[in-house]
Structure 1
Amino acid sequence: MAAPPLGVFVGLSTLDVVHHVEARPAADQKTTATAQFVAAGGPAANAAVTFAGLGGRAVLVTALGRSPIAAVIRADLERHAVTIVDAAQDLDADAPVSSVAVTRSTGARSVVGIDATALRVRRAPELSELLSGADVVLVDGHHPVLAEAATDAAVAPVVVDAGRWKPTMRVLLPRAQAVIASADFRVPGTTDSETTARALLEQGVPIVITTHGGEPIRWWHHGERATVPPPRVQAVDTLGAGDVFHGAYCYFACQPGSDVPTRIGRAAAVAALKCETPGPRDWLHRLPELLTTMRG
């Protein structure tokens, strides 16, 4: 029996404090939440949890430190079978916290956080041995030193999570096998998602994927282009849905013989499951049923 694929995820970890609300409060108002959740968050961290939940071996290279906040993040990630490589040098600094409000009727979320500025990484650990055994590597660009070191040492295909433009993207994009860009991501000098995709292809990125919420996912590969419609669901919580899509794409990209539209379709189904399930982690309990359906 083949060993499960090894995915290495490089980037941001946060503590997400999530409240579900009927409506977001206006200025100087308060509201009572209908539910609350506390879990690890961040693009790379959520993608790693997804990869592990699907059956892969997930390693997260990030910055946590040893603050009480970091202990909560670490506990949640380890509970979900994610192995952590902590690159923090300022061990006593607080790990970042994100405050999230999710509107119950639509699933839309608002996020306020300090991202990687709370715990900067000045030098990367030695990653060559770890990356030599990886089947896929994802970078989110939030810790540029880590992202650039990982793409330098990577042997496996590199997937770039392009949520928003960061200066380090100039280094990362030419090294990517696949770039998964949000609808809002713009390469400087481009005006929309379409021109951004063309700019990425002109830089030599082999696979470009752009996500558009509930609208069809667009992809380009080897001169082909097409769309994949995501499943239609009643969204109640979209927090982290893009991260889940990225982690699932990485997992299905490791499956022998998989093609780009199949990976996208399966990843979209996993992300849809996240959107229709309240909370950061409860959707994982429903994942085995979805995988059984996928297998036929």
Structure 2
Amino acid sequence: MATPPRVLACGLATVDVVQAVERMPGANEKVVALGTRVEAGGPALNAAVTAALLGMPCRLVTGVGASPLGAVVRHDCAEHGVELVDVAGQGFELPVSTVLVTASSGERAVASRNAAGASGWALPARGDLEELLGGVSAVLVDGHHLPVARVVAAAAREHGIPVVADAGSWKPGLDGLLGDVDVLVASADLRPPSGGGLDELLALGPTWVARSAGADPVRWLAADGSSGTVDVPVVDVVDTLGAGDVLHGALLAEVGRHGMRDLPVALARAVGVAARSVTVAGVRGWATA
């Protein structure tokens, strides 16, 4: 019996401290939270869990390390059937994100170091990469942990495995990673040094690029000159935290199942999942709502 395909996400995992508030505090002001959650997060981890919730087995390559907080990440991955591969070097500190969600609008504010300055990665050797990519039908990289992401993306390209990139913001060295990316979905905040139009992002290496813009349509452009938009469903917003991560995880699952035959359709399905995700509290709530 053939082994069912799986997908792989490579990038950032965090522990998120999420507080719901009536309004954002000003300078030197304290507010009382309406509720608090401590949960695993980060773009690659959230994407991996999203793919798993959509029925696509997923492997997550990230840094966790020996911190007691790592138990939060390990438990979340185990609970959702995500296979965890820890490539943290000695002394790695798992990033903690502080998140404030405004109850009335669902908008969020986030403070995090995102593992900035981390080094000493346990980069997989060629034999390990063969095992890591075994049975994998699509890979996602989120622009974090770049030394690891570049090795994984290059190996995926050698094996003919589609690589999807989540680009929320520009990071030094990201242009080198994009040379091994097939599909790039950028946020409205992404501003590369060249300016940031879709055509300029396409010139960095991907064959298909798209840019999300909150509730506005998602624009896309392909290397063959075709272009278009995907409308975002109108929904009642409760919590926007992780909506972009859900979008990328859903797109990863679509590419893992169907390849890159019809990326506009895959993107539209992923946008639909992301829209559902903002109608309930928490990054995972959409799956049981």
Check conservation: 2:4, 2:135, Cα contact below 8 A: no
Match of 2:76, SS state, is helix
Match of 1:238 among 235, 240, 249: 240
How far, CA to CA, are the matches of 1:95 and 1:203 in structure 2? 31
How far, CA to CA, are the matches of 2:246 and 2:10 in structure 1? 15
Which AA in structure 1 matches 2:23? A
Which AA in structure 2 matches 1:120? S
CA, structure 1 residues 108+133, in 2 after alignment: closer, same or farther (shift >3 Å)?
A: same
Deviations 1:57-116 (A, max 9, x none): 1100001012111111211121111110001121x5431100000111111110011111
Match of 2:85, SS state, is strand
In structure 1, the gaps of 5 or more residues are: 287-296
Runs of 4+ with >6 A deviation: none
Question: What TM-score comes out, normalization by structure 2 length?
Answer: 0.92
CA, structure 1 residues 88+204, in 2 after alignment: closer, same or farther (shift >3 Å)?
A: closer
Alignment of 1:27-106 (within 5 A): 27-90=27-90, 93-106=92-105
> In structure 2, what is the equivalent of residue 248 of structure 1?
250
Q: How many residues align?
A: 281
Check conservation: 2:95, 2:112, Cα contact below 8 A: yes
How far, CA to CA, are the matches of 2:17 and 2:287 in structure 1? 19
Question: What TM-score comes out, normalization by structure 1 length?
Answer: 0.90
Match of 2:263 among 260, 263, 269: 260
Shifted more, 254-263 versus 97-106: the winner is 254-263
Which AA in structure 1 matches 2:217? P
Alignment of 1:1-296 (within 5 A): 4-90=4-90, 93-117=92-116, 119-125=118-124, 126-154=128-156, 155=159, 156-190=161-195, 192=196, 195=197, 197-221=198-222, 222-256=224-258, 259-286=262-289
Check conservation: 2:142, 2:166, Cα contact below 8 A: yes
How far, CA to CA, are the matches of 1:278 and 1:229 in structure 2? 23
Check conservation: 2:89, 2:120, Cα contact below 8 A: yes
Q: CA deviation at 1:159?
A: 0.8
Q: CA deviation at 1:122?
A: 3.1
How far, CA to CA, are the matches of 1:4 and 1:109 in structure 2? 37
In structure 2, the gaps of 5 or more residues are: none
How far, CA to CA, are the matches of 1:182 and 1:2 in structure 2? 37
Which AA in structure 2 matches 1:39? E
Q: CA deviation at 1:160?
A: 1.1
Deviations 1:210-235 (A, max 9, x none): 00000000111221100010111111
Query: Pairwise CA RMSD of aligned residues?
Result: 1.7
Higher-helix-fraction structure: 1
Check conservation: 1:37, 1:280, Cα contact below 8 A: no
Which AA in structure 2 matches 1:20? A
Deviations 1:97-153 (A, max 9, x none): 000001111111100111113753434123232114210011112101110110121
How far, CA to CA, are the matches of 1:41 and 1:208 in structure 2? 25
